[in-house]
Chains A and B, each alone.
Chain A
Amino acid sequence: MSTATRSNPWGRLALYLVLGLFCIYYLTPLYVMLINSFKPLGEITSGGMVALPQDWTSEPWQKAWSEAQVGVEATGLRPYFINSFLMVIPAVAITTILGALNGYVLTKWSFRGSTLIFGFILFGCFIPFQVVLIPMARTLGLLGLAGSVPGLVFVHVVYGISFSTLYFRNYYTSFPTELVRAAQIDGAGFFTIFWRIMLPSSGPIAVVCVIWLFTNIWNDFLFGASFSDFDSQPMTVALNNLVQSSTGVKEYNVHFAGAIIAALPTLLVYVVAGRFFVRGLMSGSVKG
C-alpha cells in the first residue's frame, strides 16, 4: 500500500526485523513446551528452559500419555483424550446438522416473525455461561446425564446451536433464492431441496462451522469442570488436574508433554485448514 516504505531498503529491513521478532514472540511458548517435553526433569530444574535437550528422551510423553497420576489412578491422559473425542464428535455433528437446517428454514422458508426468532436464538451466543451453570447442573441430574460424556455432549449441543445457526443462516442468506424456486417448480419438496440443492453447495460453511465447533468444544474447560466426573473428564480438565496436583515433585517435562497432547488436535486442524479457521473467527465476529 505505501510506496514510501517500499522504496527505502533500510525501512524494508526494519519492517522484516520487527515482523520476525514478533514471530519469535508468538513461537517461544510453543518452542519451550516442545523442547522441554523431551528433556529429563533434571535438565529443566538445573536452569535450562530454552536450551535444547542434551539427553533427548520420550519418557515425559509416555508418562503423560499413560502413566501420570491424573485422578485417583495413575492412568495418564489417555482415557481423557478419548473422552474428549467421544464428546466432540457427536456434539459437532448434531450441532452442525441442526444449524444447517435452522439456517435453511430461516433464510429460504422464512415466515412472519422468523427474523425475531433468529435474534432470539442469536442471543445464546453471548450469554456468560456462568448464568446457566446452576440450573444446568440440576437439569443434568434430573435427566440422569450428570457426570457423563453424553451429558457434556448435550450441553455443548444446546449452547453450540446458536453459533451453527448463525453461520449457516448468514451463508444461506446469499445463496440464490431463485435456485430454491426453480427446484420448487421442478417439484422438489422441503427436504429434497435441502439434500439435493442446499447441502451440496454448503461445503465451505460446513467446514468453517465444524472447525469452529471442534476447536471450541475441544478447548472448553468450564463445562467440563462443572459437569463431569472423574471418569468422564475431558482433556482440558485432566490436564489442569495434572498440572495443579500438589502431590510430589512438579514434573514440568510431563506437564509440557501433556499440554502439547491436549493442543495437538486443534493445532493439527489449524495447520491443515487454517484458512477456514480464520474465516470462522471472522464471521464469528458477531459472536464472542
Chain B
Amino acid sequence: MPSSLHNPGKSIRGGVQDFLPRLVLSPTIALTLVFTYGFILFTTYLSFSNSGMLPSYDLVGWANYTRLFKLRAWSIATTNLLIFGVLYIGICAVLGLLLAILLDQRIRAEGFIRTVYLYPMALSFIVTGVAWKWILDPGIGLEAVMHDWGFTSFQFRWIKDRDMAIYTIVIAAVWQTSGFVMATFLAGLRGIDREMLHAAEVDGASTFALYRRIVIPQLRPAFLSAFVVLAHMAIKSYDLVIALTNGGPGISTEMPATFMYSYTFTRNQMGVGAASAEIMLLTIVAIIVPYLWSELRGNKQ
C-alpha cells in the first residue's frame, strides 16, 4: 500500500525529532523564498518604477514597458530570439534525431562516437564562442583557409554581416547542444519495447515505415523534454552571444538577455532592464509551467 509510505513515525517521536525534518528543510525554504520569489517581486516592483542607475521606489505605472516595446534594440532582440529559437530548436531536433537513429543501428564503437558528439556540452559557452569566433572570422578562419586552398572566390563573412550574424550564433549553439538532443533521443529509442519492433517487422513494415509510424511517435516525451530544455536555453542565452559577437556588428545580434544586461548595468536604465527581465520570465513560465504541471501530475500515478 504505497499511500502508507508517508510519515514514518511522525509525531510519535515528539520533541526535537518531530520537527527536525522541517528544521533541516527550512534554510532552503528561506533561501528560496527570499532569493527566488522575493527577488522576482522586487524586480517586478522595479519594472514599474523610474529606476535609473540606482533602484528608485517611485512608481511610474507601465511607462517602462511602453518604452521597452518602442525601443528598436528590444524589437531587434526579440526578432533575433525568434529567429534563433526556431532555427536552434529545429536544427537541434532534426540533427539529434538523425544522429540518434543512426547510432541505434548496432554501431561498433558507439560509446566512443557518443562521447565525441556530446563533449561540447561540457564546455563553457565562452570557450565555444572563442573557438567559433575565430573559425568564422574571414581574416583567419574558414574563408582564409579556403582561399589558401585555392578557392579564392569562396566567401563566408556572416559574422561581419549585420543581416547574417545571428545565424553564426545558431551555428555555434547547434554545435554545442545537438549532442545532448541526440543523447535524449537515443535514451528514448532504447526505452522502446524491442518486441513491438519485432512484431512490426513481422507485420512487414519497412525500416522507414517502422521509424515513421512506430518509433518516432513514441519519442514524444523525449522530444518534449528536449524542447523545454532548448527553449529555456535559448531565452537565457547570454554567454555565447557575448563571446561570439558581443551583440554586434552594431546591435544586430542583440538578444533579450544581452539587452537586459546592458540596459541595467551599462546604460543605467534599470527600470527598462527590469521590465525586459520580466518579459523573459513570463516567456519561460509560459513554456515551463504547462510542462511541469503535466510532468508532476503524471508522476503522481
| Chain A directly contacts chain B within the complex, with at least one CB pair under 8 Å | yes
Please give the distance in Å from A48's CB to the nearest CB on chain B. Answer: 7
CB contact between A27 and one of B116, B127, B264 (< 8 Å): that residue: B116
Main secondary structure of the interface of B (DSSP, over half): helix
Contact residues, A165-209 vs B (CB, 8 A):
165, 177, 180-181, 184, 189-190
Report whether B141 and A177 are in contact in the complex, using a CB–CB cutoff of 8 Å: no
Q: Which residues of A contact B106 (CB under 8 A)?
A: 1, 6
Please give the distance in Å from A53's CB to the nearest CB on chain B. Answer: 15
Q: Which residues of A contact B184 (CB under 8 A)?
A: 282, 285
CB contact between A287 and one of B28, B118, B229, B280 (< 8 Å): that residue: B229
Report whether B113 and A23 are in contact in the complex, using a CB–CB cutoff of 8 Å: yes
Interface string of A213-234 (1 = CB under 8 A from B): 0010011011001100000000
With an 8 A cutoff between CB atoms, is A256 at the interface?
A: yes
Please give the distance in Å from A114's CB to the nearest CB on chain B. Answer: 8
Q: Which residues of A contact B228 (CB under 8 A)?
A: 285, 288
**At the interface with chain A, which of B36-44, B66-74, B83-91?**
B36-44
Complex-state Cα separation, A110 to B10, whole angstroms: 9
CB contact between B39 and one of A28, A136, A239 (< 8 Å): that residue: A136
**At the interface with chain A, which of B57-65, B97-105, B154-162?**
B97-105
Please give the distance in Å from B224's CB to the nearest CB on chain A. Answer: 9
Interface size on A, residues (CB 8 A): 102
CB contact between B140 and one of A44, A104, A124 (< 8 Å): that residue: A44
With an 8 A cutoff between CB atoms, is A262 at the interface?
A: yes
With an 8 A cutoff between CB atoms, is A13 at the interface?
A: no
Report whether A236 and B239 are in contact in the complex, using a CB–CB cutoff of 8 Å: yes
Complex-state Cα separation, A110 to B9, whole angstroms: 11
Q: Which residues of B contact A130 (CB under 8 A)?
A: 236, 238, 256-257, 260-261, 276-277, 280-281
Report whether A49 and B126 are in contact in the complex, using a CB–CB cutoff of 8 Å: no
Report whether B132 and A29 are in contact in the complex, using a CB–CB cutoff of 8 Å: yes
Interface string of A127-145 (1 = CB under 8 A from B): 1111111111011000000
Report whether B264 and A133 are in contact in the complex, using a CB–CB cutoff of 8 Å: yes
CB contact between B21 and one of A18, A132, A190, A221 (< 8 Å): that residue: A190
Report whether A161 and B115 are in contact in the complex, using a CB–CB cutoff of 8 Å: no
Report whether A256 and B39 are in contact in the complex, using a CB–CB cutoff of 8 Å: no
Report whether A158 and B35 are in contact in the complex, using a CB–CB cutoff of 8 Å: yes
With an 8 A cutoff between CB atoms, is A38 at the interface?
A: no
Complex-state Cα separation, A162 to B28, whole angstroms: 9
Please give the distance in Å from A112's CB to the nearest CB on chain B. Answer: 9
Q: Which residues of A contact B80 (CB under 8 A)?
A: none
Q: Which residues of A contact B123 (CB under 8 A)?
A: 219, 263, 266-267
Residue of B nearest to A133 (CB): B264
Report whether B7 and A222 are in contact in the complex, using a CB–CB cutoff of 8 Å: no
Assuming A47-B140, A127-B40, is B273 touching A134 (CB within 8 A)?
yes
Please give the distance in Å from A127's CB to the nearest CB on chain B. Answer: 6
Tell which of A29, A45, A139 has the most Cβ of chain B within 10 Å: A29
**At the interface with chain B, which of A54-62, A70-78, A85-93, A270-278?**
A270-278
Tell which of A22, A32, A104, A284 has the most Cβ of chain B within 10 Å: A22
Assuming A259-B127, A281-B183, is B36 touching A127 (CB within 8 A)?
yes
CB contact between A47 and one of B144, B242, B256 (< 8 Å): that residue: B144
A-B contact pairs, 13 of them (CB 8 A): A15-B105, A32-B135, A104-B24, A130-B277, A190-B24, A222-B261, A236-B126, A256-B131, A263-B122, A277-B121, A278-B114, A282-B184, A285-B184
6 A-B pairs closest in CB distance:
A288-B232, A219-B124, A109-B21, A270-B122, A285-B225, A221-B239
Which residues of B come within 8 Å of A, CB atoms?
Answer: 5-10, 17, 20-22, 24-25, 27-29, 31-32, 35-36, 38-40, 42-43, 46, 55, 99, 102-107, 113-135, 139-141, 144-145, 147-148, 175, 179-180, 183-184, 187, 189, 194, 197, 201, 206-207, 210, 225-226, 228-229, 232-233, 235-236, 238-239, 242-243, 246, 256-257, 260-261, 264-265, 270, 273-274, 276-278, 280-281, 284-285, 288, 292, 295-296
